Amino acid sequence: MSGLTPGALRAAAWRTLDRSKTVQAALDRLGFVQADPIRSPARAQDLTLMARVPGYRAGDLERLYPALDAEEDLLPNYGFVSRRVQALLHPREAGVTRTEQAHPELLAEVRALLAGREEVHPREVAALLGRGRVVNAWGGQSSASTRALDDLHYRGEVRVTRRVSGVRLYGPAPHLAALRAAPLPEEERLRGAVHLLAALYGPLPEASLGYLVGLSRLGFPHLRGELRAAFRRAVRDELAGAVVDGLRYVWPAGEAPAASPAPRGVRIVGPFDPLAWDRRRFAHLHGWAYKFEAYTPAPARRFGSYALPVFQAGRAVGWANLKAAGGDLHAEFGFAPGVRQTAALTRGLEAELARYRAFLGLGEARRS
């Protein structure tokens, strides 16, 4: 395809913000919603859904989860998927974990404890089985029995039944047992994962899709070589693509980036939102580099600990740091070089702050 411009790619990427009527419809359309435990001003999964579901409120996913066609799993990072997508990920063969190495008998004990129960809380398991503490996936400390639950979840032997104040509760996963007995064909699973990533994050640089596929090896620990082969086959034979400013982009066949309508309005999205996730695409299409700095020492931060990218008419123009304090929403904004703070931008930011206030159930919005 010739004549494709960065503006057309920005417009095509903007389509990820298309609205869905319900949380289930948004999850079905996206395929994957990344999770993160930091709440600033809300968890990543809530920020992503708030941008796409009118009237969404912080915590709605956690509240609705038991009644949704939704599972917690890994593709390419930890998050929420529909069972249709989860069927691509299992059966999952995993090696011996650190928890098993330190406590060889622990997984069998947790399995026995779960037998015949619909749900267990990690605190209950820890109280009954004990064990020491180990580093968890977020860098903090968890009991070994909690890590054993995580290991069984990763293997598909249990599922997350719901969350209580952010804590995952676990129970049986008969649908995954059925997949172990009759899995989808391997080629279908791997091809489906690659195409889902291309649709969710595309149009995106081919190298970025390769990076996402590389991350997804955690979801396919025993099929890493086969996953890379599926990526190469998709890029060569199945996905559409074009070179823009010397960078090769790919997207699902049948989509036409050049035909995307011009983006309108101002939007503030989370740092893990599909619109902002790929930093290579971000820098190319918007002309400046955005960084997620939650783990950067405070004196070295440019944007803030949890800066949310700000877009106007499809172009990233700055970032927002939003904080709930004293029942109000406090906002600080930064802007990319050359961005004019026009009346239209100011009105758009005020409208977004009003949406965030409703989303978080807060009072006034205060800018500093």
- How does pLDDT run across 24-55, given as a tens digit for each residue? 999 999 999 999 999 999 999 999 999 999 99
Residue 123 lies in a domain: yes
357 Cβ neighbours under 8 A, 6+ residues apart: 329, 363, 364, 365
**pLDDT confidence of residue 143:** 83
Domain of residue 105 covers 98-180
Number of structural domains, the chain? 1
* 214 exposure class (CB count in 10 Å sphere: 0-12, 13-18, 19+): middle
Domain assignment of residue 163, yes or no: yes
Tell me, yes or no, whether 174 lies in a domain: yes
In a domain, 109, yes or no: yes
pTM: 0.93
Average pLDDT, the chain: 93
Side chain identity at residue 148, one-letter code: A
Q: What is the mean pLDDT of residues 296-314?
A: 96
Q: Band the pLDDT of 159: cuts 50, 70, 90.
A: very high
Helices (H) and strands (E) in the chain, counts: 15, 15
Residue 134, pLDDT above cutoff 90:
no
- Residue 142 sits in a domain whose CATH number is 1.10.10.10
* Rounded CA separation 42/64 (Å): 17
> Does 69 map to a domain?
no
Q: What confidence tens digit (pLDDT) does each residue in 255-299 have?
A: 999 889 999 999 999 999 999 999 999 999 999 999 999 999 999
| Residue 167 in domain | yes
CA angle 269, 274, 280 (to 5 degrees): 105
Query: What is the pLDDT averaged over residues 213-239?
Result: 95
Q: What is the DSSP pairing of strand 158-164 with strand 167-172?
A: antiparallel
For the chain, percent of residues with pLDDT exceeding 70:
96
In a domain, 345, yes or no: no
